[in-house]
Each structure stands twice: as C-alpha cells, then as structure tokens.
Chain A
C-alpha cells in the first residue's frame, strides 16, 4: 500500500488516477464476466430453465413481410415477388433433397400418430432424429408445380406453423369443442388448423379455403412433438399446414383468422398471436 501515500506530484497524480481506474474497471469487468460465467454454469445448454414466458405457443404464418398483411396485384409479378421468395426460402429445408441423410431424418409415416419421445434432453445418446416432412404434402402450395404458390392466379398460399417450444407436447382437442368444419377431418393425433373470416361481413368474401398437410390432414401431426431444441435437433422440421385461398374477393380488404385447436393451446386478448393469428388480404385485380 506504499504507493497510496507517495508524495503528491503534479504528474504522478493523473497517472495514479488512470492506473486506479484501469485496475478498478478491470476488476469490475472480471467480476461481471465471472458472475455471468457462474450463472451460465447453472443453465443447461439443452433446455431452458423456465418456459413460463414462451408457452403456450404462438401461431405464425409464412410469408412474413413487415406487417401481417398480404397485398398484391395479380397481374404484377413484382408485387408478390417478396412473398414468393419468402415462401421459397422457408420451404428450402423441406425439399426432398435436404432430407436424405438417414442418420438425421426418420420417416414418421403419412398419417398422424403418437408423440415420438426420444429420451432425456441431453447428448448422452448423441443428436436426436428428426421426422421427415414431405414438401409434396403441401400440394398446390408446395411450390413444386407452381413456383408462385398460387399468387400468379390470385389464389395465394400461406403456410401456418406452430411456434417451436422445447419439450412442448400439444394435446389434440376434445371433439365437442370444435367447429363442425374441423370435426369433419378429426384425428386423435392431430392439432387441426382452421381459417375463418375475422369479421362476420367478410364471410362471403373469403371464398373456398383449401388445407394441405401431412397425408391431407389440415393440421399438425403429434409425431413431430416434442421438439428437442437447437442443439439436439439442429435440422428439426416443424410440421406445416398450407392454406390456399382459391376464391378471395379482389379489390377489398379481407381479414382472416387462422386458429390451431388443442387442449393446451390457448388464446389471449393481449397476445394476438397465441394459438391463432389474423392476416389481412388485399388483392388487386389490376
């Protein structure tokens, strides 16, 4: 501590102060990094400690550009270019040639089935396998036959997905609670998705809605759950449902609400993307 009581010199003073702050902030930075490291040690790299803020899952759509709105001119290919490329980019991972490695991918059948539990959430058994999802299931919305996903014809496709939540097992809905349209294609291993007009008066403007999904089921099959996380399933393919609006009224705003149904899928007034979303179509004929 002798340096503390050295005689004060005009030059020594600023140097001492500088030195002091270097040491002081050095120590603080060390303490900060140290405590953060210690904190990280208590956090597993495979699963988050808490999920109360992220669950229940949100329902989102592709394409996603700026706002939840799809607005284009049928005759102008530039006006829907971003939607198309957005869809194309998203579906790239779903192409058949991306799912060839059998060490990662597993064929989970063509019809909805039971959850696929893949053991504990750690890498003792190495990475977990991932269910294949065939792009062809999306039919008209797969982009295989129609690279503009129906936009060219004014019949836009959107993809609906349930937000990934690690370890989350959505439960299929109980029959009675479902709207009749959904009941028609009921399957005990399916989380159905249904889109309907947001407002009553839009009921006649929405036209026909086509759903494409695994084996033709309009929903998410349970064998894709639970999700094991980025580290254990880096190439996880979340199940999709494609929704095509084949007869939308042009030149008018149409609001559509898409909902996923399940016992542990909830809706909230504050979070309008929880278990459902609404999207606005504004298709101009010219």
Chain B
C-alpha cells in the first residue's frame, strides 16, 4: 500500500542530500537545512512503513491469539506411559489414543477401535459421521476405514492409532498448502489506493518537472531548481494519508470485530463493502446447525412448532389425548440425555449427548413437558433395541408411571413407512381406530407434504402390552424379540429440520435491497436446500424454478423457457456436466440460485464463474476443502465456531458467531468506510494545493518563501492527522444499504471530480486565504505587497544586511529570515484554520451539514480541537526552536483566514444544494465526488 509515495519521498530525500553535498562542497553558510530535510523525509517514509506494518501485524496477531485460544492436546503413549502432549509435538510413529469428542491430532492409522465414528465433514464435506475400524478396505487413503485424518473429530467411541503424518504433510496440510497456490488478486481497496497514488504522484511529478523546467529557463541555478523540486514533491505528497487510511481501516476492523466479524487482512474491510455476490454455506451460516422439530402430524392434522433459537414454549394445540400419547413416546423412546449440571441454562443452549434427531426430540420434549429425565425415571425402561440401519426403528419397553396400570408400554419410532407397516390401528383424538386405506392415504399425504418441505420425518407408535401375557417379571429379551413388534397403534409423525437462524431472512432481504446476490451452496439435498432457501428468502416467495414452472404449466421441463424462471436449484450432478458457458448462463439468467449436493471442489468452480461476471465475490466456508474457494474469493469468510483452521487461515475474515447476518453488518461497515475514505482523501488532498501554490508563486513572482518544507510536514503529519481519522467515524449520509454495490471499474475511490474539486476549488480558495494572511503579516511589518515582488535574490542574500522595505527601513538578513518564519507560521495557521472548514464540509458529500448534524460525530470535534491545539503548541510553545521555523504569532493573524473558511463552507453548501436540487444536471455530474 505504501509503494508510490515512499518512492517519491525517497527521491525528495535523495535530492536533499545531493543539494546538501553540493552546498557543503561549495562552502555555503547553511547547508545543513537540506541535510535535516532529507533525514526528516527518510524518517517519514520509514515511520509510515513501520506504522503500517505494525497495524497489519496487530490484526494478524488477533488471528494468532485466536488460534492459540484452543491449544490442542493429544494423549500419547510414550515409554509405556500415557502423556498429554501438545499436538504439535507429535512425531511419526507415536501411538495416540482418541475418544469421542477429541480432535484427531495427526493423520493416524488405527490399530484398535471400539464403536469409533469420525466426522470427516471438514475434509470431504460428508455430513454423516463415518465409522472407523482397523480393517484396510480401500487403496485410496481417503476411502479406507482404518485411517483417521488430522483435524477431523471423533464423534463417538474410542480408538488407538499410530501417527503416520504430521503437520503440513497430513492430508489436510496438503490441501491447505494447495490453497495457498490459488491465485489471490489485489483487494479492491488496494487497487483504488494504487490508482489514487498514481494520480497524486502523476500530479506531483508533472508539476515538479514543469516547474523545474520553468525555473531553469528563468535562469535559476540548477541547485535552486532542485530545491524547488523537493518542495513541490513534499507539498504534493500527502505524507500522513497512508497512515490515516490504515488507521481508518483498523478502526472499522475493530468495530466489525465487536459485531463478530474478525478481519484478518485490513484491506478486506472494504472488500466486503464492494461485494456483489455472496456464496453462502447453508449449514450453520444460514441455519442454526441444529435439528429442531418443525412440524407434527397427529389427529390427521399438521401442526407447526416454533423453531426459533430461544423457544421456551410451544404454541400448538396440546389438548388432544393423542398428543399425550405421542409426547410419551417422544420422551421415552429416546436415548439422548442432557449433560448434567446445566439446569440453569435455557433448554436450547444445553449440551446433549446423542445424535442430532434424538437431541431435537429431547429438547422439544423438555420445552413442552418439562423435566424429561424425571418422566423417564418414573417410567422405568425394562428393555431397548437401539436404532440400526437394517431395522430402521428404535424400540423400548417401559413400566408406566400409573401405579394402577400394571401393563408395560412398548414405544417405537423410526422411518414412517416402516412404522406404518407394523401398525394395524391409528390413534385419532385419543381413540384407537382401525387403520383403513383412507387413513393410510391421509398418512401418505402428510408424509409427502412434510418430506416435500425438506424435513426429516419420523413416525411414532406404541402398544400397551396386555398384563396377563406380560406380567412384571416377564423376561424381555431384545435378541429373540419375545414381544410383539407388529399390530401396533400408530400415533403420529414428527418432522425435523435444521431451521434458519431467525436473523437470516432479514439479512437476506437487506442484501437484496443492497443489490447483493446471495447464492446458496450446500452439500445438502436439493429439496432441503430449496426449502431453507425459500424460508430465508434466497428464493423469494413469488419466484419459480424451471421445475416449478413445468409443474404449474403441466409441460415437460424441457419445454419451459428457462429465461422466465428467476430462481434455479442446481444439483451437483448437473453442475458436473455443465460447460463453463452453461454455468455462466445459469449465473447470469437467474437472480436466485441454490447449488445443492455440491462438493467443496465445485464451490471453487462457482466462485470462478461469479468472478467471470465481474462480480466481487464473498464466500463463506468452514471445511478444509473450502479453503481453495475461500482463497479464490475476493473475500473469504470462515466460520469461527465450526470452521477448520485451514479455512480460517485461507479466509480474510472470520465470523465469530457463524451468523450470516454478521456479514450484512460487515457489508454496511465496508461501504461506510469506502465513503468515509473518500472524504478523508478529499480532505487531505485539498491542502496540498495550499502547500503547493506558495512554491509556484515563489518561483514565478520571486517573493519571499511563504511556507517552508518543514512547516508543510508539520501540517501533513501534525495538525491534519487526527481530523482525517475523525472522518472515519462519520455516519452514513443516506441508507447505504439501499444502493447497489459499487462498480469496480466506474466508482473509483478518487475520481476526477474529487481531485478537481479538492485541488481546483477548495484548494485554490485555501491558497487565497493563506496568501491574504501572508501579505497582511508582511505589510504590517513594513513590506507592502508590491514591494515583495521580485525580491527573492536580494532577500535571500546573506551579504545584504541593509535590505530596504516599503518605508525605507533597513533589514539585516536575520531580521528578514525571522520575518519569513513569521510568514511561514502565519501561512501555516491560515491553512490550519481553513482546514477546520474543510473538515466540516467533508462530513457530507451530498447532504447539507445541517442535515447530517454538526455535533453527531464527536470525534470530528476532537479532531478540530487537536488541530488548533497542535497549531497553538507549535506557534507559541515551540516558537523559539529555530530549526522548526516557527515563531510566535500575533493573535489577530489567526483570524485573517476566518472569512475564507466561512466562504469555503458557504460555497460547499451551495454546491451540495445544487446537487440535491438538480440531480443528473451538469453541476451534479461535475461537482459530486
């Protein structure tokens, strides 16, 4: 980011040293001024560099500390002793033990397993846990069952294994290093800053060279011309600006971190603001990543359940007897349990041991019925058959809590069609009725409907075992199944879904009004994906996919005009067969797209497709396999909770709460900072003209130097720094989330209008004000303006100590120099005073200051006071330090520029008024930046 300006300043420093060398060799009287100037310039470059580095390092540190927060430990058997070691100390050949819940510390080959299942989702994208054993089952290490991979988690069971790969050599490590190979272009803001640097450097160099030629042809000495050139460069380069930009970005980064967006790379702050497409994951980002009961079907009716994050009650009708029976099955036929010691936590936040569906049912029951564990204790379990994939049901037999009822209760849940097969009756309003074909039809309809919403449906049935056949002492044997498992009574259906986060629909609609396309990319089934997409608004209520249209019009899919469908659900299988053009067509023609059943690799293809459309793409991801896509994206967003380290490393930003809505806040901050950087740059550029004009007029009119190079540095790096940072705190002028994302090639950070308005309007006005002060100071000391023209050579001559002023008085060289420094100070003070006005007008670009509120941004006032405070300290406090070229200044000179400051304010208000009055007019086109 520092590049261009540093080079210019180095050139300036080099020139200073060269001219020092020449002057020193010639034995001039005060050559050390140039030496100091060179040193100061070099210092400026070095300090800005260090500062930028420090800021970057600080935000990288956040990241480093973040990953250190969870130090990974591994249980290793070394020297016949079990030891806890940090995972990074493992070596190949170590034997490690793993149990449910652990993260696997390296790639290991398993030598002993007991019910071990691993979650490979971060690696392969498979969401179901995979079982592991010691058997070699496949040539491909990714397929074989006896290898567990680094950074995946062991879900249940225990295992022991030998470490075969560590660190970067693990499978994950290799993918992560692959990701680093994916090209990563410049961030949009880096491009903008570069463009701006070129612009300013271009102005600096062309004016510098132009005036070098002019001064040489005006018979100035080459040495003098070089010194002028240094002055012009120093005046033109906004030395403090890059530091300001860095500070502004890191302030925004800090603000975003508070809103759960942790920015790793400062420039990414703005990238999010330019984003035009977000490719979002479904699980965890759009949804709560937690199965929740969404619908119930009993008494031939579908009820909806509350799926929000913080549910405490369920609103559906619970008066029916059937519900009582159903709730009993839900409670009892369930192996999931709350971890102890969480009684004070809300139900939804408690940790549960058990699989996703059972957890959902447990929490649902706990919310509706209260203490589930107590109910289970009162209905003692006497036998149980856990769920397995051949039976596709789960069954348990309980005593009842009714002391008079000695019957056992058999409860069963499972895949609805399998459950229905085993039933002969169905419970309607608490009464058992025979299951005829009509009722079976009703079941089918309900099952289809729930399934069609992308929900996982479970059927529930029960049977009270007759007391005479099954007395208290009856020995239930689950292996021989010495109890009935058919002719049961069907009670109802429950369907579950991973529901969208409650904040997401709002966030998606915000994205839409902000002109950002949200594309869902998920590994899930298309039906589920589409259902979630519809419920969060990624597919809006009115739009249809091609398939929907075909269904509505009752024609084959091929005959539907694809262009008329606004939405599209693309299956991973289809995507595989698509050519790039076809993909582009899909991305182009449909505004609402869902990619389902995609592999993480396909995510990369989708990202590249979006980038071909010229979009700035944000990608969210959590798995290791997402890391190439995260890297490829203009801004990769990793999930802070679910995300793997590889994803976090590849990403530019980490969402600490995994919540899609946080991205939207990020977008808002990003857009705001872009607008505010414009203001900052406009503010900073303005005074460059007021610093440059003195040199130009000095060269052309040969007046005493109005402002010194050192003084310019005091403005650029002293008084102006805090105010320009303060502009980063400015609130948005209008709803920035209601406009389209900026066009990368058209909406530049620094456009022609900004440069022209800053340089040629406000800058010139500032120069006029500063020159009036300058001439006032000289006139009141005896040099009327006309006397000053053309005096440069004699004025600067050391030998002339009786230089005559307008009144015939005679001045020694030192007296003149001291007066010249007073002039510097006056010029400095007037620029400072007018920069206050400049700061105030830069608060808005279109609205009146009074609309924006003069006092809403308190930091601006801190800026103004600091500006004036620093100026006061420099003039009165350091006025006696010769090297700084400041002198104490009569108090009234502080006010000479005030009318010009007011003029600047009024002029800018008029400009804004016309812009608002006549949008699209000539004025608007040329004056709005």
Binding site for B on A (CB under 8 A): 4-6, 8, 13, 16-17, 21, 24-25, 28, 31-32, 35-36, 39-40, 43, 46-51, 53-54, 57-58, 60, 64-68, 161, 163-166, 227, 229-231, 233, 236, 268, 270-274, 277
Knowing A5-B918, A60-B801, A66-B799 are in contact, say whether A39-B775 is a contact too (CB < 8 A).
yes
B816 nearest in chain A by CB position = A53
Quick check: is B810 within 8 A (CB to CB) of the other chain?
yes
B921 nearest in chain A by CB position = A5
Q: Are B811 and A163 in contact (CB under 8 A)?
A: yes
Q: Are B810 and A165 in contact (CB under 8 A)?
A: yes
Q: Which of B798, B802, B903, B922 contacts A161 (CB 8 A)?
A: B802
Q: Which of B760, B771, B782, B926 contacts A32 (CB 8 A)?
A: B771
**Considering the chains assembled together, what is the distance between the CA atoms of A231 and B784 in angstroms?**
14
Interface residues of B in 116-139 (CB under 8 A from A): none
Interface residues of B in 774-823 (CB under 8 A from A): 775-776, 779-782, 784-785, 798-802, 804-815, 818-819, 822
**Could you tell me the distance in whole angstroms from the C-beta of B45 to the nearest C-beta in chain A?**
32
**Considering the chains assembled together, what is the distance between the CA atoms of A35 and B775 in angstroms?**
10
B925 nearest in chain A by CB position = A8
Q: Are A28 and B807 in contact (CB under 8 A)?
A: no
Knowing A36-B772, A43-B780, A271-B815 are in contact, say whether A166-B800 is a contact too (CB < 8 A).
no
**Considering the chains assembled together, what is the distance between the CA atoms of A25 and B767 in angstroms?**
12
Quick check: is B480 within 8 A (CB to CB) of the other chain?
no
Knowing A28-B768, A39-B775, A54-B781 are in contact, say whether A277-B801 is a contact too (CB < 8 A).
yes
**In the complex, chain A residues whose CB is within 8 Å of the CB of B776:** 39
**Considering the chains assembled together, what is the distance between the CA atoms of A2 and B130 in angstroms?**
76
Quick check: is B882 within 8 A (CB to CB) of the other chain?
yes
**Considering the chains assembled together, what is the distance between the CA atoms of A163 and B801 in angstroms?**
8
For the complex of A and B, list the 6 residue pairs with the smallest distance between their C-beta atoms, beginning with the closest.
A230-B808, A271-B814, A58-B812, A163-B810, A48-B782, A273-B812
**Considering the chains assembled together, what is the distance between the CA atoms of A229 and B804 in angstroms?**
11
Knowing A64-B799, A270-B814 are in contact, say whether A51-B782 is a contact too (CB < 8 A).
yes
**Considering the chains assembled together, what is the distance between the CA atoms of A6 and B922 in angstroms?**
8
**Could you tell me the distance in whole angstroms from the C-beta of A6 to the nearest C-beta in chain B?**
7
**Considering the chains assembled together, what is the distance between the CA atoms of A271 and B813 in angstroms?**
8
**In the complex, chain B residues whose CB is within 8 Å of the CB of A17:** 926
B764 nearest in chain A by CB position = A28
**Considering the chains assembled together, what is the distance between the CA atoms of A115 and B236 in angstroms?**
54
Quick check: is B112 within 8 A (CB to CB) of the other chain?
no
**In the complex, chain B residues whose CB is within 8 Å of the CB of A4:** 914, 918, 921-923
**Could you tell me the distance in whole angstroms from the C-beta of A238 to the nearest C-beta in chain B?**
9
**In the complex, chain A residues whose CB is within 8 Å of the CB of B903:** 31
**Considering the chains assembled together, what is the distance between the CA atoms of A51 and B800 in angstroms?**
19
**In the complex, chain B residues whose CB is within 8 Å of the CB of A164:** 802, 804, 808-810
Q: Are A54 and B814 in contact (CB under 8 A)?
A: no
A28 nearest in chain B by CB position = B768
**Considering the chains assembled together, what is the distance between the CA atoms of A231 and B807 in angstroms?**
7
Interface residues of B in 315-356 (CB under 8 A from A): none
**In the complex, chain B residues whose CB is within 8 Å of the CB of A51:** 781-782, 809
**Could you tell me the distance in whole angstroms from the C-beta of B884 to the nearest C-beta in chain A?**
15
Identify 12 residue pairs between A and B in the complex whose beta-carbon atoms are under 8 Å apart, listed by A's number: A28-B765, A32-B771, A35-B772, A46-B807, A48-B781, A48-B807, A54-B781, A54-B810, A60-B802, A67-B799, A68-B799, A270-B814
Q: Are A47 and B807 in contact (CB under 8 A)?
A: yes
Q: Are B781 and A50 in contact (CB under 8 A)?
A: yes
**Considering the chains assembled together, what is the distance between the CA atoms of A164 and B811 in angstroms?**
8
Contacts A24-B761, A48-B807, A164-B802 aside, 18 further interface pairs with beta carbons under 8 A come to A4-B921, A8-B922, A32-B772, A36-B775, A39-B775, A46-B807, A48-B806, A49-B781, A51-B782, A54-B781, A54-B815, A161-B802, A163-B812, A164-B808, A230-B808, A233-B808, A271-B814, A274-B815
Q: Which of A53, A64, A236 contacts B800 (CB 8 A)?
A: A64
**Could you tell me the distance in whole angstroms from the C-beta of B705 to the nearest C-beta in chain A?**
16
A67 nearest in chain B by CB position = B799
**Considering the chains assembled together, what is the distance between the CA atoms of A248 and B925 in angstroms?**
79
**In the complex, chain B residues whose CB is within 8 Å of the CB of A50:** 780-782, 890
Central interface residue in A48, A50, A64, by most chain B CB within 10 Å:
A48
**Could you tell me the distance in whole angstroms from the C-beta of A181 to the nearest C-beta in chain B?**
25
**Considering the chains assembled together, what is the distance between the CA atoms of A47 and B807 in angstroms?**
7
Q: Which of B765, B782, B812 contacts A274 (CB 8 A)?
A: B812
**In the complex, chain A residues whose CB is within 8 Å of the CB of B781:** 48-51, 53-54
**Considering the chains assembled together, what is the distance between the CA atoms of A58 and B799 in angstroms?**
13
Q: Are A58 and B764 in contact (CB under 8 A)?
A: no
A20 nearest in chain B by CB position = B926
A49 nearest in chain B by CB position = B780
**Could you tell me the distance in whole angstroms from the C-beta of B72 to the nearest C-beta in chain A?**
65
Interface residues of B in 734-781 (CB under 8 A from A): 760-761, 764-765, 768, 771-772, 775-776, 779-781
**Considering the chains assembled together, what is the distance between the CA atoms of A53 and B811 in angstroms?**
9
**Considering the chains assembled together, what is the distance between the CA atoms of A64 and B802 in angstroms?**
10
**Could you tell me the distance in whole angstroms from the C-beta of B42 to the nearest C-beta in chain A?**
28
| Chain B contact surface mostly | helix
Q: Are B801 and A229 in contact (CB under 8 A)?
A: no
A47 nearest in chain B by CB position = B807
Q: Which of A21, A40, A60, A227 contacts B779 (CB 8 A)?
A: A40
Q: Are A36 and B785 in contact (CB under 8 A)?
A: yes
**Considering the chains assembled together, what is the distance between the CA atoms of A160 and B923 in angstroms?**
65
A161 nearest in chain B by CB position = B802
**In the complex, chain B residues whose CB is within 8 Å of the CB of A227:** 808-809
**In the complex, chain B residues whose CB is within 8 Å of the CB of A230:** 806-808
**In the complex, chain A residues whose CB is within 8 Å of the CB of B811:** 53-54, 58, 163
Q: Which of B761, B768, B801, B882 contacts A273 (CB 8 A)?
A: B801
Q: Are B779 and A39 in contact (CB under 8 A)?
A: yes
**In the complex, chain A residues whose CB is within 8 Å of the CB of B925:** 8
**In the complex, chain A residues whose CB is within 8 Å of the CB of B775:** 36, 39
**Could you tell me the distance in whole angstroms from the C-beta of A111 to the nearest C-beta in chain B?**
26
**Could you tell me the distance in whole angstroms from the C-beta of B811 to the nearest C-beta in chain A?**
6
Q: Are B810 and A270 in contact (CB under 8 A)?
A: no
**Could you tell me the distance in whole angstroms from the C-beta of B615 to the nearest C-beta in chain A?**
31
**Considering the chains assembled together, what is the distance between the CA atoms of A8 and B899 in angstroms?**
35
Interface residues of B in 483-523 (CB under 8 A from A): none
Q: Are A273 and B805 in contact (CB under 8 A)?
A: no
**Could you tell me the distance in whole angstroms from the C-beta of B446 to the nearest C-beta in chain A?**
64
Q: Are B806 and A53 in contact (CB under 8 A)?
A: no
**Considering the chains assembled together, what is the distance between the CA atoms of A32 and B926 in angstroms?**
25
**In the complex, chain A residues whose CB is within 8 Å of the CB of B779:** 39-40, 43, 49
**In the complex, chain A residues whose CB is within 8 Å of the CB of B882:** 270
**In the complex, chain B residues whose CB is within 8 Å of the CB of A48:** 780-782, 805-807, 809
**In the complex, chain A residues whose CB is within 8 Å of the CB of B923:** 4
Q: Are A40 and B784 in contact (CB under 8 A)?
A: yes
**Could you tell me the distance in whole angstroms from the C-beta of B511 to the nearest C-beta in chain A?**
34
**In the complex, chain B residues whose CB is within 8 Å of the CB of A49:** 779-781
**In the complex, chain B residues whose CB is within 8 Å of the CB of A64:** 799-802
**In the complex, chain B residues whose CB is within 8 Å of the CB of A66:** 799
**Could you tell me the distance in whole angstroms from the C-beta of B739 to the nearest C-beta in chain A?**
23
**Could you tell me the distance in whole angstroms from the C-beta of B883 to the nearest C-beta in chain A?**
12
**In the complex, chain A residues whose CB is within 8 Å of the CB of B800:** 64
Q: Are B922 and A13 in contact (CB under 8 A)?
A: yes
**Could you tell me the distance in whole angstroms from the C-beta of B800 to the nearest C-beta in chain A?**
7
A13 nearest in chain B by CB position = B922
B780 nearest in chain A by CB position = A49
**Could you tell me the distance in whole angstroms from the C-beta of B467 to the nearest C-beta in chain A?**
95
**Could you tell me the distance in whole angstroms from the C-beta of B678 to the nearest C-beta in chain A?**
22
**Could you tell me the distance in whole angstroms from the C-beta of A69 to the nearest C-beta in chain B?**
9
Q: Are A163 and B918 in contact (CB under 8 A)?
A: no
**Could you tell me the distance in whole angstroms from the C-beta of A67 to the nearest C-beta in chain B?**
5
**In the complex, chain A residues whose CB is within 8 Å of the CB of B764:** 25, 28
**Considering the chains assembled together, what is the distance between the CA atoms of A16 and B809 in angstroms?**
50
**In the complex, chain B residues whose CB is within 8 Å of the CB of A60:** 801-802, 810, 812
**Could you tell me the distance in whole angstroms from the C-beta of A48 to the nearest C-beta in chain B?**
4
**In the complex, chain A residues whose CB is within 8 Å of the CB of B918:** 4-5
B776 nearest in chain A by CB position = A39
**Considering the chains assembled together, what is the distance between the CA atoms of A270 and B760 in angstroms?**
41
**In the complex, chain B residues whose CB is within 8 Å of the CB of A25:** 764
